[in-house]
Amino acid sequence: YREGEKIIVAVVDNGKGITANRLEEIRARLNQTEIETEQSIGLRNVHERLQRFFGESYGLTIEGKEGEGTTIRLSFVA
């Protein structure tokens, strides 16, 4: 969908969701400048590429609650 000057692609699931602690860990990894481990680099890679190509206000966001599913949104220039 379109949101102002952005195109948003939302990937939504209705699974078991994600704990608040795990969500914060993932969000923190998205913005790390260096990779500490080789685990979970896929989301960070996508986020970084979107920001490099479109700018800092674009990228990937993650929302979710335990028991309510998870939503990942990718934003880029319209």
> How many domains does one find in the chain?
1
Neighbouring residues of 46: CB distance < 8 A, sequence distance ≥ 6? 60, 74
pLDDT in tens, 37-74: 666 688 999 999 999 999 999 999 999 999 999 999 99
pTM: 0.84
Token look-up 């990894």 returns 29
- Provide the CATH number for the domain around residue 60: 3.30.565.10
Q: Which domain holds residue 51?
A: 2-77
